[in-house]
Amino acid sequence: MLLSGCSIEGFGKAFGNFGWPSRGVSLQAHKMYDLWIASVIAALIVGIFVWGLIFWCVIRYRKRGDELPVQTRFNMPMEVLYTVTPILIVAVLFYYTAIVQTDVDKLSKNPDQIVQVTAFKWQWEFDYRDGMGKDANTVASTVGSADVIPLLVLPVGEKIRFEETSKDVIHSFWVPEMLFKRDVFPGSARNVFEATLDKEGRYVGRCAELCGTYHAFMQFELVAVSKDKFDTYLTAKKGGATTQEAMAQIGFTGKEAYAVTTVPLNTRRQASGWNQSNTVAAGK
């Protein structure tokens, strides 16, 4: 009866989400979060039960004399218990993990939005596409630079298909608040995943695969907005507006037209650039 007032989310929040940043901002993230918290609860129950048994044994069977008890009593049932119990635990965890993973990896036939994520050393390009696959056309595009963090503006409540490709090495697309990352491969390997955002907001994104000297520069920002705002944004982009001009059209003006969750890292091009005659080598 006491437990009926609890929710997995409430329990997770009370304990700092057990290491996750939040419950996430997509439907897929919520499922992974719930699986994680439920697994922790199961682990705690097993843990408390085992600690109980240990302390009970320590007290109940403490030393009573110098005579050694029989060393093999109950050894067969114990061995069986030691084998069967972990298999059961793993089987249950595997079952729920498989369900959530299948769901997170599920691709639909008709996604509402298709965005191609192109990673390169050391920036991101986001292309809004008119269809699926590498032969579809780009209808609007945003590319980051050393001075401007690229924004990935997407609608909430719609199935978004992310198609990933890299121009050089392996990178990894990661929005911590989506509780999800996926490697971005060069060549013909095209990683695809789908997500449905359900919380408007601005979330930092990063490259999660060490890809070279300026790996840490590979940041972007996911801007989750309402469907109406997204349509306005995309129409403006299609009409030739810059990302910042299009952002202004949906109410993000001034500084808000740029990333708010992160800033470009200092390239120190002037201070430590190569091939410049009047500079000092880095480290001097």
Site of interaction with Cu ion (CB under 5 A): 171, 207, 211, 218
Q: Which residues contact 155 (CB under 8 A, 6 or more apart)?
A: 112, 113, 197, 224, 225, 226, 227, 229, 230, 231
CA quadruple 50, 42, 76, 59: dihedral, nearest 10: 10
Beta carbon of residue 10, minimum distance to Cu ion (angstroms, whole number)? 37
Give the whole-angstrom CA distance, residue 37 versus residue 29: 12
Q: What ranges in 61-167 are assigned the alpha helix state H?
A: 75-105
Measured from the CB atom, is 115 or 257 closer to Cu ion?
115
Can you give the three-state secondary structure of 188-216, one letter per residue? CCCEEEEEEECCCEEEEEEECCCCCCCHH
115 vs 208, beta carbon nearer Cu ion:
208
- Complex with Cu ion: residue 161 or 171, whichever CB lies closer: 171
Least distance from C-beta 124 to Cu ion, angstroms? 9
Token duo for residue 77 = 């049932």
Q: Assess contact for 118 and 124: CB atoms under 8 A.
A: yes
User: Is the distance from CB of 159 to CB of 113 less than 8 angstroms?
Assistant: yes
Question: Least distance to Cu ion from the beta carbon of 215, Å?
Answer: 5
Residue closer to Cu ion by CB (options 170, 260) is 170
Closest distance of CB 119 from Cu ion, Å: 6
Of 264, 169, 160, which Cα lies nearest the Cα of 221? 264
Residue placing its CB nearer to Cu ion in the complex, 34 or 221: 221
Structure tokens at 86: 């972990």
Task: Supply the minimum distance, in Å, between the C-beta of residue 204 and Cu ion.
Answer: 15
Task: Report the nearest approach of Cu ion to the CB of residue 206 (Å).
Answer: 9
The residue (of 191 and 249) whose beta carbon lies closer to Cu ion is 191
